[in-house]
Amino acid sequence: MSDQRHDTRFDRFVDSYAERTKGMRVSAVRALFAVANRPEIVSLAGGMPNIKDLPLESIASSMGQMVAENGTQVMQYGSGQGELQLREQILDVMALEGIQAHPDDIVITAGSQQGLDLVTRIFCDPGDVILAESPSYVGALGTFLSYQAEVVHVAGDDDGLDPEALRETSRRLKAEGKRIKFLYTIPNYSNPSGVTQPLERRRQVLEVCEAEQILLVEDNPYGLLSLDADPVPAMRSLDQNVIYLGSFSKTFAPGFRVGWVLAPHAVREKLVLAQESATLCPPVFSQFAVSNYLSNHDWKHQITVFKDMYRERRDAMLEELAEHMPDGATWTKPAGGFFVWVTLPEGIDSQAMLPRGVDARVAFVPGAAFYADGGGARNVRLSYCFPTADRIRLGVQRFADVIRNELEVMSIFGVHVSPTHLRRAPGPGPNLS
Ligand SMILES: Cc1ncc(COP(=O)(O)O)c(C=O)c1O
């Protein structure tokens, strides 16, 4: 192994990269990881599920047995569509949200992230438009941009996507001669907003999609993590033309990288071809491991264990926000999932505030990461999935203090002091860029 790290600043291939790499962005969340993982910092930034309550010993023993008895099958290449046994079990998972389907309409993917990639790959040419909620999942935006699609955000409210805004946006784009390929939505406990579309809203959105001939892609990794009431029926359960993305990352464990796409038959065929060219077949060992877990463990009970844990953490975050946040800040009240979306008092820029947050030993994700069009400057995503309730309380108190300090600075200087303002300051000084 060479002990010299090659420096990418002198990249001799810089003129050779494909155009599509220009849309690839460093994930804001990943960039934050290095600091956020320091023990003195309370990280309300990452979206890692807390899987320490899984019955690890019994999972280890049944997986050990699986390898001993079926190793030559579970460690072999498999089908491009994914293992039938797992696809049949996925039907039981989706039935909990009202979806009825056939195992042949499912393609297994390496997490729902790969589902997003394959769907974009088969539908989008450069310049095609993808409609997305406002705000939307940073990982999806990254995928869309890497295929050189244009992301147009559609306004929403506390009930998610606004159907009238969807209709108006669709008509405007069509009048401009743009090609809309699909609408991407996270109807349950959205990442990052925590907002859920009620049943009536889902129907209205589907009606607009039908009228405007827009394909709908429903991404639902959090649907079974409902913390207050039963899950709302999935959009796919209301309309068979919806492309549905599912995942075991939040209801079991993300490390297996197993998700799936449920799609109308013709689309499913294209997805399998795309999957074969991407990976030959989705990870076989992981699929059998997940299937083994579903067969040998009470996975529905495990979801209730996760829900009790996340509920305690969500409640801790909401209580603390209510007690400590200054006037002028608002935030969503998620009924499930992992995230709260904060709107800061007028004039505060969340990106500029981040270094001061880290200084005060709290990490969060500035809202701009969740927009493809420069929005989100006044927003922050807070996550309650990973730290304990006590750490969450401490983190929110620190977060509220940071905002209060920003307000104080604004009241003294009249503007929010961002690194951009500091850079523009005349005279010599440290290079703050
Ligand atoms: C909305 C959403 N979609 C997709 C994913 C990707 O999940 P995975 O690839 O682990 O299934 C995530 C992960 O956080 C997510 O929040």
**Residue with CA nearest ligand 1 atom 14:** 47
CA of 112 to the centre of ligand 1 (A): 6
For ligand 1, whether the C-beta of 221 sits within 6 Å is yes
For ligand 1, whether the C-beta of 143 sits within 6 Å is no
pLDDT band at 113 (very low <50, low <70, confident <90, very high): very high
Tokens found for residue 48: 């890692």
Side chain identity at 116, as an amino acid letter? L
CA–CA distance, 253 with 76 (Å, rounded to integer): 22
CB of 376 closer than 8 Å to CB of 141: no
Beta bridge partners of 184: 132, 217
pLDDT digits (tens, 9 = 90+) for 52-67: 999 999 999 999 999 9
pLDDT digits (tens, 9 = 90+) for 181-215: 999 999 999 999 999 999 999 999 999 999 999 99
CA of 320 to the centre of ligand 1 (A): 27
Strands (E), 344-399: 362-363, 365-366, 379-383
- Mean pLDDT of the 304-312 span: 98
60-94 per-residue burial string, b: 16 or more CB within 10 A, e: under 16: eebbeebeeeeeeebeeebbbbbbeebbebbbebb
Which of 141, 154, 152 shows the shortest CA–CA distance to 204? 154
CA–CA distance, 147 with 256 (Å, rounded to integer): 26
pLDDT, residue 429, reads: 32
Domains present along the chain, CATH in parentheses = 19-53+301-411 (3.90.1150.10), 68-298 (3.40.640.10)
Atom of ligand 1 nearest to the CA of 115: 9
| Helix locations, 124-282, DSSP H | 138-146, 163-175, 199-212, 235-238, 265-279
CA of 245 to the centre of ligand 1 (A): 9
- Residue 417: pLDDT over 70: no
Among 189, 191, 196, 251, which is best to mutate for testing ligand 1, by the most ligand atoms less than 8 A from CB? 191
